[in-house]
Amino acid sequence: MTYDVIGDIHGHAEELRTLLRQLGYEERNGGYVAEGRNAIFVGDFIDRGPAIREVLQIARAMVRRNGGYAVLGNHEFNALCYHTPDGAGSFLRPHSTKNAHQHQATVDQLVLPYPEEWRSYLQWFKDLPLFLEIDGLRVVHAAWDENAIRLIRGRSFYDPDFLAAAATRGTPEFTAVETLLKGPEIKLPDGQMCVDKDGTHRADMRIAWWQSRKSKKHLRYCDIAVPSAADIPAIAVPPEVLSSLPSYGRREPPVIFGHYWFVPNTPDVLERNALPKLKLRLSPSRIGSLVPAGVASQNFFYKSLR
């Protein structure tokens, strides 16, 4: 079986269709099929783009009828929380201006005009796993972390208590789900701030969890930040912080993830224009192609662990 891994689509159905056709898939039963091939979606189907409903129709059909795979993205998790009452007059994800803005395209295109259908997608999101292992390949939306996986293994968002715990900052469930779907972060030293891609000043930074840090005792904040930016301090990370960070060993199975926006030449990460290399580095029987889907600025990444 050849797997086609498809990254964060975010409502870009036209690009998704083009991509599937390019890969040799043909439309059938609302989804797409190709002999001897299967799609793996890494989550983030909704928000942003112009054709969110269509993306969900295609992806769900492919997973349900054609044996495709999908994991949950942080945008789907956020939507579940956004539309679930918290029992105290609000929702598990508050309807703040920022949260509403992030989810607006989905609300306009799907939640309001097709409420029944939208409810069926909320149910489907609950079916999606937070992590997957297929044929020696690992798949997760943002970060593979054994501690997080151990904690949530066997649990499902059909369980309202689990969903509520995962939406409540400070619980172990919140931390685990946050790590898998958004990736690990640490505080910058001495109250320093950095500016993220949206221009927001932040006191914490995302870390490159896919690094193997085994033999590296002395790393600076700028060495482990993702994306690396000029305003991340070149100060040594204290050993106790370093040892608490998730990392990914070189001997662990290949892991595929989406979510991140990388700058070109990020070390150890292959980007879309490195596709020919990828085929050399991973058996083609495992992965047919590794392709970005959706907006050009959000690429899909694969980390070779050899």
The alpha-carbon radius of gyration of the chain (Å, integer) is 19
Interatomic CA distance for residues 158 and 124, integer angstroms: 10
Cβ atoms within 10 Å, residue 174: 14
Shortest distance (Å) from residue 293 CB to Mn ion? 13
| Closest residue to Mn ion using C-beta atoms | 259
Residue closer to Mn ion (CB basis): 37 or 259: 259
Q: How far is the CB of 73 from Mn ion (least distance, A)?
A: 5
3 state SS of 261: coil
Nearer to Mn ion, 60 or 259 (CB): 259
CA distance 203 to 187: 6
Min dist CB 27 to Mn ion, Å, is 27
Count of residues that bind Mn ion according to CB under 5 A = 4
Q: Whole-angstrom Cα distance, residue 204 to residue 288? A: 37
How many other C-beta atoms can be found within 10 angstroms of the C-beta atom of residue 78? 21
Binding part of the chain for Mn ion, among 9-17, 43-51, 114-122, 206-214 by CB under 5 A, reads 43-51
Query: What's the number of CA atoms in the CB half-sphere (13 Å) around residue 272?
Result: 17
Segment 251-270, which members bind Mn ion (CB under 5 A)? 259
State the minimum distance, in angstroms, from the CB of residue 141 to Mn ion.
Answer: 6
Interface residues for Mn ion in 197-226 (CB under 5 A)? none
**Residue 141 CB coordination number (10 Å):** 29
| 69-88: contacts with Mn ion (CB under 5 A) | 73-74
- Does residue number 44 form part of the binding site for Mn ion (CB under 5 A)? yes
Contact residues: Mn ion, CB under 5 A: 44, 73-74, 259
